[in-house]
Structure formats: C-alpha cells, structure tokens
Structure 1
C-alpha cells in the first residue's frame, strides 16, 4: 500500500529492488490509458514517442523534462535537456495493463483500475540496477505522475525539476541505504 504524508503519495519498496507507486487520478480508465499510450498526450507528462501496442515491438521514449512545466524549475547538474531510451512492449491488456522493458536492465508494469469516476494507477518498476537509479526513478515516477495528475485536473503543475530534486531527497531518506 502507498503512504500519504502532507497529501503526498509516496511509492514504496515492496521488495529490495521493486518500487510500487499508486495514485488515484481523475477520469476514466480510457482517458488515463490514452495519456499512457498516445505519444502526444504522454509527452505532456512523461516522454514522447510512438508506441505500437503489440507485444515484442520496440519503441523509443524521448524525455524533454524542461518542457513539462512552466517554469520547469532548475535542472539538476548532470541532467540533460533531452534523454532517450529504447523500450519494448512485453504485454498489453488495453485499457487496463501495459508491461514494458525499461531500457535493458529493468521493466515497468502499469495497471489501471476504475474507482467510480476515477482511476487507480499502479506503477511497478522492477530491478533498477543501483540505489542511485532506484532513487532517480522513484523521484521521477512521483514527479511525472504529479504532472499527469495536474494535467488531468486542469491544474498547473509545480515546476518539474524543483519537485524532482525534493522528491529524490525524500526517497533517499525513506529507502534504506
């Protein structure tokens, strides 16, 4: 189960290298699914890139995090204006489940479940290769889903990079060294 502190929903380690994050999002499963799978909508909160929803197909995520919020916040040293990663679709059960590789070392499962007029999004990220990567993806998923939630609500999200930096520090404190 996820924890909530000061209205912030944190992901949890359900195994030493498995992050599970849940967030209740406004709107139908179909609406949230479109923000997950359609490149133009996904680019508004995570990364662009065309994705063919067929197991075995590869696709490329392209992150331009400076474009997610206005202002974007201060980009941390060592972070690029653009990042790319090739992933592969492993499993699709539209509009409820999408399982993909995350580069070559880990994988991510997205699950959507209707909750009245809203949707419970569950993200399970398995096998980040190091603690540093675990902290980065934990803060990353959290910050990106914050942007998605704001977009779905028609609200203005907090500056992405400032949020990510704070969340990375939070996860560093929450997760054992």
Structure 2
C-alpha cells in the first residue's frame, strides 16, 4: 500500500584515494566543511545544533544525531521554506568504509516526499558536486 507519508533517499557513493582518517577530518572540522559543503558552526558532539548556510542564502538547521569515529556520522537537516515542495526535514548519513586504495564514502540523505521530485533531483546532483569538492579538500589534508 502506498501512502503520502512514504519518503525516499538520495544515495551518492564515491571511492576516494585517501584513508578514512583524512575523509573524517574533512567531514568533521568546521573550517574544512566550509570549503566543500557550506559555511557552518558544526561541532562534533551528539546533540550539537548547528547551521549550514548555503551560497544561495538559505539556512539549514541541523543537529548531530550519531557519531562513530572514522566510520559514520549522521545529522538531521531541516530546510525551512514557505513552499512545501522545498521544505525538507531529512537525515544525512555519511558512511566510510576502508578500501585497498583509500575509502568508499556513501552519503544518504533521507526524507524526500514523493512530490519533491525537483528537490530530490537537485540533492542528487548537489551531493555529487559536494563529494568531488570533499575529495579535493581531503587530498590537501586540511
């Protein structure tokens, strides 16, 4: 049975030729997050509330949900918008898996409602760009 409350996830995966420790650093240090994702006031503490500020002028209210150092990081991501097609409460989870050549990074952003096709497509394209930038930042070593 299909209901209007069902949501779907954007999943983007990338193999990065850096060890998990370097990827983790880029995922969890505020100044590095600003370089590949958005300006922020992130702190690596469960329950920490922070904001991501997009170049487009939007602000996302976030909260750290779970931390498994160098393996997994999750936070709630709340994009307020007067248009329900763009308002989004979601969870972003980064999963790092060591490989022979570096790290397999999987990003999942869950919570897209069926009518949010444009936001879903935009997130899919956006995460691909963000991960490309994250790879550059992690290669530099921060």
TM-score, with structure 1 as normaliser: 0.64
Higher strand proportion: 2
Q: 2:100 aligns with which of 103, 106, 116?
A: 116
1:153 deviation in Å? 4.6
SS of aligned partner of 2:43: coil
Q: CA RMSD in A?
A: 1.9
Count of aligned residue pairs for this structure pair: 124
Q: Distance in 2 between matches of 1:39 and 1:26?
A: 22
In structure 1, stretches of 5+ residues that fail to align are 1-14, 65-79, 155-177
1:117 deviation in Å? 4.1
Instruction: Give yes or no for the alignment of 1:89 onto 2:64.
Output: yes
In structure 2, stretches of 5+ residues that fail to align are 1-5, 79-87
TM-score, with structure 2 as normaliser: 0.78
Q: 2:130 aligns with which of 144, 148, 155?
A: 144
Native 8 Å contact 2:29 2:43 kept in 1: no
Tell which has more relative contact order, 1 or 2 (C-alpha 8 A, sep 6+). 2
Q: Which position in structure 1 is the counterpart of 2:51?
A: 60
